[in-house]
A and B are shown apart, each in its own frame.
Chain A
Amino acid sequence: MSLTPEDVKKLCALARLEIGPDEIRDLSAKLSDIMRLVGELQAQDTQGVDPMAHPLERPQRLRPDAVTETNARDLYQANAPLVEQGLYLVPKVIE
């Protein structure tokens, strides 16, 4: 399995990662190495095997549908790079 520079550009767009033109060749080579390592899995017969859902074979716990958290917007927004009147600011979305 090998990834072309075009594949990598597409992945970067999907993952929202800007990659410089000088990085693409090295990244394609390294990702191809990783996919070759992972490719060993394809040879394993897994017919009839259920995919693991939980390492301890336990179901996901449910909790009562009750409000437990209190509003702490100011506390959380203290970490935000840019806020105004309690709103997060981002670059223009609609032209």
Chain B
Amino acid sequence: MLKRAMHEKTLTELSDALAAKQISARELTEHYLGRIEQLDADLNAFVTVTAEQALAQANAADERRAGGTATALTGIPIAHKDIFCTTGIKTSCGSRMLDNFVSPYNASIVAKLEDAGVVMLGKTNMDEFAMGSSNETSFYGPVRNPWDLERVPGGSSGGSAAAVAAGLCGGATGTDTGGSIRQPAALTGLTGLKPTYGRASRYGMIAFASSLDQAGTLTRSAADAALLMQTMAGFDANDSTSLADPVPDYVTEIESPWEKLRIGVPENFFDDGLDAENAAAVRASLDVFEKLGATIKSVQLEHVHLSVPVYYVVAPAEASSNLSRYDGVRFGHRAEGADDLIEFYMRTRAEGFGAEVKRRILTGTYVLSAGYYDAYYLQAQKARQLIAEDFKRAFADVDLIAGPTTPTPAFPIGQKVGDPIEMYLNDIYTIGANLAGLPAMSIPCGFVSGLPVGLQLIAPHLAEGRLLKAAHHFQLHTDWHRQVPEAYA
């Protein structure tokens, strides 16, 4: 194997190195903290760096390793998207509204990873309340893409993506409501996994659109995604939509021998909006699967063109409801000097929320307002059903669906932020999986003008094992996922 710098190693490699005592958790943590201090000023990937706690966790991890009670993740340094509540640590969700919020409790996935001995380096920047596809809506300023600092890293998990791609942490958590893990993963050359709706707990994950939100991972490889998801997945009594289905052994399953796979390609994903070179990279990766013995066939997703309009009814409707809790009374930002309660609410919310969040709240308020509910929300939930049925029909004939993750590689900062519609269309290929609750991944599949692009794989409900295995075998035969931006090598 090639000799790689510590920060270029996968979590799987780091886990092996920790187990073999080639390195301590303390050394590893110090190395990443040093890189964050040295490099994050340009990237702006972190909202909060938790150096002191990280070193304490690293020391505890080393003791646990010495005591023989370590898990594969003990001593592994990762970062959490700042949407996940972390006890005693600021949890901002990228918003002025929560700039002063210190969470009194841990999100369930944070607690699970902590119990496994993971070291948290800090909290990553994100689009405000996860609403965005470029990380430009954050109260803390845009995150920059390590492949080209003038370009966006994607969003909303843009800080997590930039941090992993630049080697500021070994892996990171993210959330995906309409593509917020897969799209930034594609734009930064990473592996992004959004599991089945309900597979990983939403408890303590600040709500955006509750019927779509799902926690997942941004990592350097599919094997790393399997390793993290092994711990993150599973039933949680605190999440009313958590799935009780047992969690399979992903880590073992992905290493099992390749089986013949039928991969469906929705030809309407290869539309005019898709960059030609991006399309070519995706097609070439399908050839790799074919050489591995997969059968590639075309599938029809007749209603998938309705994904974006459905999403921009359902997600803002749920957001307008979820974000009504920010009233300046119990926590978060509070406006000064209001004379009565209504003015107090209105000014608190006007000051606390940014422009994109306000647009979504107002869109949601509109579609849910008296007289419009049937025409918009109900109609959208019916169309959503049609989209889900298309996927179900397609999965009767194929094991996985494959296509592009994004229409283009990373775009320049400032290019789309003034035009919501253009921004929304970045998620045109990813939204369908959220609407249908399906697990999906983005894996690196090539470069366009020196910028990474992603292949999206979508699987039936709860088939994360199959999804991760296909991605892992692809990565055993390609090295797109091992490319790192030169400035961060």
Q: In chain B between 327 and 355, which residues have their CB closer than 8 angstroms to a CB of chain A?
A: 327-332, 334, 338-347, 349-350, 353
Of the candidates B346, B380, B382, B421, the one having the most CB atoms from chain A within 10 angstroms of its own CB is B382
Decide if B180 is an interface residue (CB 8 Å cutoff).
no
Decide if B2 is an interface residue (CB 8 Å cutoff).
no
Decide if A46 is an interface residue (CB 8 Å cutoff).
yes
Mark interface residues in B351-374 (1 if CB within 8 Å of A CB, else 0). Answer: 001000011011101110100000
Q: In chain A between 3 and 18, which residues have their CB closer than 8 angstroms to a CB of chain B?
A: 3, 8, 11-12, 14-18
Mark interface residues in B300-340 (1 if CB within 8 Å of A CB, else 0). Answer: 00010010111011000000100010011111101000111
Provided the pairs A16-B349, A61-B240 are in contact, do residues A41 and B383 lie with their beta carbons within 8 angstroms?
yes
Residues of B near A75 (CB, < 8 A) are 104
Name the prevailing secondary structure of the B interface residues: helix
Which of B197, B313, B353, B421 is the one whose CB lies under 8 Å from A55? B197
Decide if A78 is an interface residue (CB 8 Å cutoff).
yes
Provide the bound-state CA to CA distance between A62 and B349, in Å.
34
Decide if B243 is an interface residue (CB 8 Å cutoff).
yes
Decide if B102 is an interface residue (CB 8 Å cutoff).
yes
Size band of the B side of the interface?
35 or more
Q: In chain A between 65 and 80, which residues have their CB closer than 8 angstroms to a CB of chain B?
A: 72, 75-80
Asked if A56 and B376 make an inter-chain contact with CB atoms under 8 angstroms apart, the answer reads: no
Provide the bound-state CA to CA distance between A3 and B382, in Å.
25
Which of B240, B345, B362, B367 is the one whose CB lies under 8 Å from A8? B362
The residue in chain A whose Cβ has the minimal distance to the Cβ of B338 is A91
Asked if A80 and B330 make an inter-chain contact with CB atoms under 8 angstroms apart, the answer reads: yes
Of the candidates B362, B382, B386, B438, the one having the most CB atoms from chain A within 10 angstroms of its own CB is B362
Asked if B382 and A51 make an inter-chain contact with CB atoms under 8 angstroms apart, the answer reads: yes
Asked if A41 and B437 make an inter-chain contact with CB atoms under 8 angstroms apart, the answer reads: no
Provide the bound-state CA to CA distance between A91 and B327, in Å.
12
Decide if A85 is an interface residue (CB 8 Å cutoff).
no
Decide if B196 is an interface residue (CB 8 Å cutoff).
yes
Which of B243, B328, B339, B375 is the one whose CB lies under 8 Å from A56? B243
Provided the pairs A52-B388, A91-B344 are in contact, do residues A3 and B359 lie with their beta carbons within 8 angstroms?
no
28 A-B interface contacts by CB (under 8 A): A3-B366, A15-B349, A17-B350, A18-B349, A27-B359, A30-B420, A33-B421, A34-B421, A35-B366, A39-B309, A41-B310, A41-B376, A42-B375, A44-B303, A44-B386, A50-B382, A51-B381, A54-B211, A54-B241, A55-B435, A55-B461, A58-B243, A76-B104, A79-B100, A81-B329, A81-B334, A92-B340, A93-B341
Known: A16-B346, A54-B211. 19 other contacts (CB 8 A): A11-B369, A15-B320, A15-B361, A30-B420, A31-B359, A33-B420, A34-B312, A34-B420, A37-B312, A38-B380, A40-B306, A49-B385, A55-B197, A60-B240, A76-B331, A79-B330, A88-B330, A90-B341, A92-B340
